[in-house]
Amino acid sequence: MTRVLYRMAALLGFLAALGCAEAPSDLPTAAAANGLTATEDAPKNAVPAEVLAILREGEPLEFVSLLHDDSYEFQEGDEKLIRWRVLGRTTIDDADRRQRLIAALERGVAENDDGPANCFWPRHAFSTTHDGHRYDILVCFKCFQVEVYREGKKQSAYSFLIGRSPQPLFDQILTDAGVPLDSDAEEE
């Protein structure tokens, strides 16, 4: 019995060492209990309609640059989003710029023909308030994933896959606003 427990512990340690993103904290039924209802027949690599509504209607819509290293040791005064350091943010108050970001996101999702990698190192995020709740939508072009958080809790039913095509526009909008990018974002 002890040998089995040691093997299970070793297996769990091995899986943790692979660098997998955190385990999902909810199920679609939990998402519904939180006021979200996943569209069950939507393909996994489509932007859920609920997420599009959040991006289109949320106010204010902030676009955020993140340090991808979730092992970063925070210093006093550092801003944190979920578990990543915020390098800077800009408010998207122009309807045309908002639509360009959303269209690029949708195009990147439609172009994705790959599966996710075993990491989650986002460098971009959308933050907004919609229907009285705070939403953070984190984008990782390295592993082709987008994660949605409501009030800081991951909403697994709303995670989806993305290609890399939106990254140049995302980077441009941040740099045009004087927001720094992660130093190795160009390596993606």
> What ranges do the domains of the chain cover?
20-183
pLDDT of amino acid 60: 96
Nearest to 149 by CA among 25, 41, 42, 37: 25
pTM comes to 0.75
Distance CA 70, CA 142 (A): 14
**Model pLDDT, residue 183:** 81
pLDDT in tens, the chain (188 residues): 444 334 444 444 433 333 433 333 333 333 343 444 444 444 557 799 999 999 999 999 999 999 988 788 999 999 999 999 999 999 999 999 999 999 999 999 999 987 788 889 999 999 999 999 999 999 999 999 999 999 999 999 999 999 999 999 999 999 999 999 998 654 44
Q: CA nearest 84: which of 96, 98, 100, 67?
A: 67
The CA–CA distances, whole Å, from 91 to 86, 128, 137, 142, 152 equal: 14, 10, 15, 24, 20
Identify the pLDDT of residue 116: 80
